[in-house]
Amino acid sequence: MAARHVTFQNPADPSKLDDQKFTPYGELHAGGKIHENVSVTLNLNAGGSGGGFGIEDAIIGFDLMDEFHVWIGQMLVPVDRANYSGPFFAIPWNYTGAIGFVPHEGPSGRNAGVSVWGDLMGGTFKYVLGAFDPGGTPTPPKMLFSGRLQYDFIGSEPGYFGNASYFGDKDVVALGVGGQYQKDGETAPTGVMPPTDDYTEFNADLLAELKMAGGGWVTGEGGVYVTGGDYPGFGKTAFYLTAAYATPRIGVGNIQPMLRYQMGKGDGDLKTWSVDAALSYLIMGPALRLVGNFQHVDTDGTKANSLTLGAQAIFF
């Protein structure tokens, strides 16, 4: 898996598009069965905005039956669809966008821990419950508990990982809910007492993607996040709405315009919102695509703009 993009934005004045930054990124995936009921996964990544090289996933899976799996190691934290799909299996090129709000999770959405999960009702209902070492503060950090439930009204999505789009491969209408809890998981701003507060989070998301006559498809997605905590300025609520349409095949691929709106709001008047407008050319769905994405961000009147041009390739 490989991706490369260039982002046009002036670091000194983010509202201007007169500077650029190139960002290469790649992943190497390996895995398989070492026993009828035991799987191993090792995924590496390199590059990205932070640079460097590291282990993305390192998992030993005890796959006893479709309805019951126990995975141990470093893996995606189960909570929302955005984290399950990551940037490679979602339509928006910008993963976190402007809302400045993601559930507690480590680099690339991963943490070390254990997950218990299963597919029920032929893969139309999925449950995932996990306990993870969050790293960071307080020292030693308290365990992060995270989980997700998902039901597909149309289609099915079996397996631990997920997509935020299936790029016309199947029809899906799915509702998911997730939550997190960590004792003393929020650190107070300087001078605020008590120094820590318990962290709680709830989210819900709905994905609808339906094929159309002629080979095109439409996608609609929305999600909402709510957190606990009593500190001033701490993000309380956030939501996003995404709409996209992929044309029937034109040349060697599908043309897909997309719009996404995001908003996050904290205590008082703190508010951030953003709009993304993207145009993609899907040669082989997510396996080979070209993307152009313009993003406008407004944080309490402070504006930023960016233009990202990217290419993505996935090969097995």
- Other C-beta atoms closer than 10 Å to the C-beta of 221 total 24
Q: What is the pLDDT of residues 281-312, one digit of tens each?
A: 999 999 999 999 999 999 888 899 999 999 99
3-state secondary structure of 82: helix
- Would you give the DSSP letter of residue 249? P
The CB density around residue 274, as the number of other CB atoms within 10 Å, is 22
Give 20-76 pLDDT, tens digit per residue.
778 788 889 899 999 999 999 999 988 765 567 789 999 999 999 999 999 999 999
In order of start, what are the domains of the chain with their CATH numbers?
Answer: 2-7+17-313 (2.40.160.10)
Q: Is the pLDDT of residue 1 over 80?
A: no
- Residue 239 backbone dihedrals phi, psi, to 5 degrees: -150, 165
Query: What sign results for the dihedral spanned by CA atoms 209, 275, 87, 254?
Result: positive
Q: Are 238 and 203 in contact (CB under 8 A)?
A: no
245 has which bridge partners? 218
155: number of Cβ within 10 Å: 17
Confidence of residue 98 (pLDDT cuts 50, 70, 90): very low
The number of beta carbons lying within 10 Å of the beta carbon of residue 257 is 14
- pLDDT at position 67: 97
